[in-house]
């Protein structure tokens, strides 16, 4: 009987300890960790991904030229010109924004789709990496 009582007492103490610890966690907003600003500074100082226009030209030919043309001047009824001089869209976006756009694509029901043809995510090539997309954007930025 003494053994049963000890076992019950241990279980009760464990339960009380668990409830006590659970209760200590609440009670308002947590203060930010001291290293949070340092982590933010490191994130801000992280190098931006940079594209290689020569590599981007090769990727463009394989994945984009079918709709945007081998010279990137566009194909009527398929894809628009990617020349910055011809495209306010290209001129008005940062490299990061263009990469995100290419990753998402544009559906035919998008009101900004003026061709009536969907642009599939990553130009229909799901194997393209972020670096590949930055390379393509770097190539587009060289077009004059």
In the chain, the domains with their CATH numbers are 53-142 (1.10.760.10)
pLDDT digits 0-9 by tens, 116-142: 999 999 999 999 999 999 999 999 999
The two structure tokens encoding residue 9: 């007492």
Q: What pLDDT is attached to residue 73?
A: 96
Beta partners for residue 119, in sequence order: 106
Q: What pLDDT is attached to residue 44?
A: 57
Name the one residue in this structure whose structure tokens are 């945007």: 68
Distance CA 50, CA 124 (A): 22
Question: Cα Rg for the chain, rounded, in angstroms?
Answer: 28
pLDDT digits 0-9 by tens, 54-84: 999 999 999 999 999 999 999 999 999 999 9
Reference 114, options 143, 86, 76; nearest CA is 76
SS3 122: helix
Whole-model pTM over 0.85:
no
């Amino acid at each position: 009987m003494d053994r049963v009582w000890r076992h019950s007492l241990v279980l009760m103490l464990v339960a009380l300890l668990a409830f006590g610890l659970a209760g200590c966690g609440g009670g308002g907003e947590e203060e930010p960790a001291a290293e949070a600003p340092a982590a933010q500074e490191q994130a801000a100082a992280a190098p931006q991904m940079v594209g290689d226009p020569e590599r981007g030209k090769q990727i463009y030919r394989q994945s984009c030229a079918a709709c945007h043309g081998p010279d990137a001047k566009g194909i009527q009824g398929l894809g628009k010109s990617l020349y910055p001089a011809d495209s306010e869209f290209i001129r008005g976006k940062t490299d990061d924004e263009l990469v995100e756009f290419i990753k998402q694509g544009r559906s035919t029901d998008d009101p900004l789709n003026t061709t009536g043809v969907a642009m599939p995510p990553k130009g229909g090539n799901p194997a393209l990496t972020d670096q590949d997309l930055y390379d393509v954007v770097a190539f587009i930025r060289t077009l004059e």
